[in-house]
Every structure is written in structure tokens, then in C-alpha cells.
Structure 1
Amino acid sequence: MAYSDRELLARLIQCEAGGEGDNGMRAVASVVMNRVNAPGGEYARVGQQSIRRIIFQPGQFVCASETERGAYNPQNIYNMRPEQIHYDIADWAIAGGRLWNLGQALWFFNPFSTNCRSNFPSSIGTFVVRIGDHCFYNPTDAYYQT
């Protein structure tokens, strides 16, 4: 049986940001939904209003992959057991909830340091905010040319 969009989003939230507190989990959910609703660029073409397509777009979320660099990835959405908080945040994001300080962020990553890069990925995203261990990036005009 295929997972619903709600289930997939709850599992991704837990996998990508389960240890980042409520705002960290909300931020990750916001990025997914910003991609789903992107008005242009790559995510508008790939996502076409689909949470499933955004989550499973190749190379986007480590947690959506059962293998990474040729090895089994035990921290994947299939091994997650979401709790009510993950479903609540998924429901909030699907209903249109977004963190106010995140803008239209389309990307996040954990730099494993105290500093966030000013651009990610390359020059199509600019740093907007750090929440927990993750840095978040808004699209530049160049993104919409992708």
C-alpha cells in the first residue's frame, strides 16, 4: 500500500528534523510545501502540486533514499515511526502554515558547523535563517531560470 501525502510528509519531517524541535520540524515542512507551491523554476515543473513528487525527486532528501553512495541508508522514511507531533506539523503545513521568518525557502542543509554559507545551492539560493542545526535558503531570480 502506498503512503498518503500526509504520511510521507510526517515521515520526512521526523527523519529530516525530528531532533530539531517544533520550529525545526515546521521549517522542513515549510520547505517541502514551498516547493510544492513554487510559482516557477525546477520545483514548479517537477512538483506540479504534488508532495509525493517533491519528496521523491532524486537527490533532494537523503531520507527519501534507501541507499546513499551505494550503501544502505537506515535513516530513511520507510524506517520512521511518526508520532502525533509529526502528523500535526504535516497537517499544519498542508493547510498552508509557514514559519514567518522562513520566507519562500526552497532549500535547507546541515553544515555541521556554526556557520551557514551565504549561498546554497550555488548562486540560486541566498541564506535567510538558521533554525537549529539547519540553514535555510530563499530562491534568487536566477532560480526561476532553472
Structure 2
Amino acid sequence: MPAVQFTNSDVSLLARLMRAEAEGDGQLGMLLVGNVGVNRVLGNCLDFDNIRSISQMVFQSPGGFEATQKGYFYQAARSQDKRLARRALSGERFNPATNALWFFQPSGACPAQWFNQWNSGRFKAHCFFQPTPANCPNVF
């Protein structure tokens, strides 16, 4: 059973987001971004109340992804990126984004907290942050 319900259009949209946000971090980096996106749809908590679809998650404003404001995001999804998106949508999870709702690329070390959310780890350029189970049980 998939982690969230999705259509072929959702696969393409998530694939474009994953590529635009983390292509430089390779396939695993892109999968981690996919995990964050799926967690935001599953979460229904904190900054992501009432985010119930991939499209709502990708284009959330405020609080969404910077990549949607860049031309690179609007390129067609490639088949290899769609395969990665399907893996994330189907429920595959990878550390440090297993329960993460946020990530960013710092200029130095990852802070222990970011906007009161705990660091769950770093992968290449990105630091990942997760809520507590009490604040967002649906992602745990």
C-alpha cells in the first residue's frame, strides 16, 4: 500500500521537486527530499495542517519549497526521477529524513535545532529536521 494516494501527475510533480531540490546530492539525496514531501502530506500537523495532496505540499505558500520559484523546477520529469518519486510515494524511507518535515542547506555545520525542530542528521549538503512524536505522531 502506498504511503499516500497518488496519480501519475503527482509522480511527475514530486519527481520535479526532488530533482530541483537535491539533484546535486544524488539519488539518495533526492529520495530524502521525497521523504520530507510525503511526511508533510501524512503529517497533518504543525506547518502542514490540511496539506492532503502532493500538489498542495509542493506549492504550499508560505512554507513551501524554494525550488518552485526557479525555472529548473519547471523542466519535464525524467524517467529516472519518476522512479525515485514512486519509491518515496510508496513508503520507502531513508535516514536522516525518515520522520523529517524540513531540510535546508547551511553554509557550515548543521545546527542542533532549526525553528525549534531537532536535527535528525545531515546528508551531503542538506540538514534534516524532525518534529517530536508528540507534536506530529502521523510521521512516526
Tell me which interval the TM-score lies in, with the shorter structure as reference length: 0.7 to 0.9
Q: 2:124 aligns with which of 124, 132, 142?
A: 132
Does residue 21 (structure 1) correspond to residue 17 (structure 2)? The answer is no
Alpha-carbon distance in structure 1 between the residues aligned to 2:102 and 2:128: 6
Whole-angstrom distance in 1 between the partners of 2:122 and 2:37:
17
Matched-pair contact (CA < 8 Å) for 1:108–1:136: yes
SS of equivalent residue, structure 1 residue 16: helix
TM-aligned CA distance change 1:81 to 1:108, over 3 Å: same
Of 77, 84, 90, 2:85 maps to 90
For 2:66, the equivalent position in structure 1 comes to 62
Partner of 2:111: 117
Post-superposition Cα deviations, 1:71-129, rounded to whole Å, max 9, x if no partner, equal xx433x21x2332221011000111111144331000000022x001112x11x10011
Unmatched runs of 5 consecutive residues or more in structure 1:
66-72
Identity %: 33
TM normalised by structure 2 equals: 0.82
For 1:101 and 1:56, locate their aligned partners in 2 and report how far apart those are by CA, in whole Å: 23
Q: State the partner residue of 2:35.
A: 30
Q: Does 1:99 align with 2:99?
A: no
How large is the Cα RMSD of the aligned pairs? 2.0
TM-score by length of 1: 0.78
Bigger relative contact order, structure 1 or 2 (CA pairs below 8 A, ≥6 apart): 2
**Count of aligned residue pairs for this structure pair:** 128
Deviation at 1:142, TM superposition (A): 7.8
Q: Tell me the CA shift for residue 42 of structure 1.
A: 3.1
